[in-house]
Amino acid sequence: AQSVTQPDIHITVSEGASLELRCNYSYGATPYLFWYVQSPGQGLQLLLKYFSGDTLVQGIKGFEAEFKRSQSSFNLRKPSVHWSDAAEYFCAVVPQSNFGNEKLTFGTGTRLTIIP
Amino acid sequence: DSGVTQTPKHLITATGQRVTLRCSPRSGDLSVYWYQQSLDQGLQFLIQYYNGEERAKGNILERFSAQQFPDLHSELNLSSLELGDSALYFCASSLHPRSSTDTQYFGPGTRLTVL
């Protein structure tokens, strides 16, 4: 079955430390890939996206993600987290073959806590 | 600020009632999507409109309906509300589907509480 998996429900990181949030997908072909962030009480903000080309994509707020076809993964990284990065992070996909239904399918999210 | 607006921000109502959630897409965007975020179901796609026409449906209940108007704003109507309908409802918009760079931008959401 087609799915998006974020294996880590909750991650705690010290401020200034590096971060990696995992995302794996299970689709017949490589989908379009997205990372969104939801701060407490806020909507979803797009961090970055991958359609094709360079497998390392840069986003806003110092985030980057790397697409690895062999691992069906699209992990989000940040070299040094700030307290303001505390939020919930969602990986999402749109299958390229889904013409006529471009809905986003979301993972279950990873809650990021930052400790001083 | 994504440019997508949603009203109201909060809505508290009773079981059995009907409510209308409103969404205005980003300027120029033709497609509107509705999503529901709940603790048990996560983020789920409800329905998509493109230039006034329904384009795709997800797991939207029959008690729920939506439409997109000529000015491209959209409304999501929820009727015969149940406790389980309590959730955060998001609207997203995009320029047009199947563009190679099409991206959905989300509004701040409407938090619905059914008592």
Mutation pick from B103, B110, B111 vs chain A, by most beta carbons of A within 10 Å, is B103
Is the CB of A101 less than 8 angstroms away from the CB of B35?
no
- Closest CB from A44, A102, A108 relative to B97: A102
| Parallel, antiparallel or unpaired: strands B10-13 and B110-114 | parallel
Answer yes or no: are the C-beta atoms of B73 and B23 closer than 8 Å: yes
In angstroms, rounded to a whole number, what is the distance separating the alpha carbons of residues A91 and B73?
27
Does A24 have pLDDT greater than 80? Answer: yes
pLDDT tens per residue, range A104-113: 899 999 999 9
pLDDT of residue A86: 96
In angstroms, rounded to a whole number, what is the distance separating the alpha carbons of residues A60 and B104?
16
pLDDT tens per residue, range B15-33: 999 999 999 999 999 999 9
Instruction: Tell me which amino acid residue B36 is.
Output: Q
pLDDT of residue B102: 77
pLDDT of residue A98: 61
- Closest CB from A43, A102, A109 relative to B106: A43
User: Per residue, what are the HEC states of chain B?
Assistant: CCCCEEECCEEEECCCCCEEEEEECCCCCCEEEEEEEECCCEEEEEEEEECCEEEEECCCCCCEEEEECCCCCEEEEECCCCHHHCEEEEEEEECCCCCCCCCCEECCCEEEEEC
- The larger pLDDT score, comparing residue A18 to residue A43, is at A18
Q: Report yes or no: A45 at the B interface, CB cutoff 8 Å.
A: yes
* Residues facing residue B68 across a β-bridge: B74
What stretches in chain B show pLDDT beneath 70? 97-101
Chain A residue nearest residue B91, CA to CA: A43
- The larger pLDDT score, comparing residue A96 to residue A94, is at A94
Size of interface A-B (CB pairs under 8 A): 58
pLDDT of residue A90: 97
- The larger pLDDT score, comparing residue A28 to residue A78, is at A78
Q: Which residues of A12-35 are buried (b: 16+ CB within 10 A; e: fewer)?
A: ebeeeeebebbbbbebeebbbbbb
Q: Report yes or no: A42 at the B interface, CB cutoff 8 Å.
A: yes
- Closest CB from A90, A101, A104 relative to B104: A104
Which token pair is B11?
Answer: 């809505």
pLDDT of residue A42: 82
Is the CB of A100 less than 8 angstroms away from the CB of B2?
no
Answer yes or no: are the C-beta atoms of B15 and B114 closer than 8 Å: yes
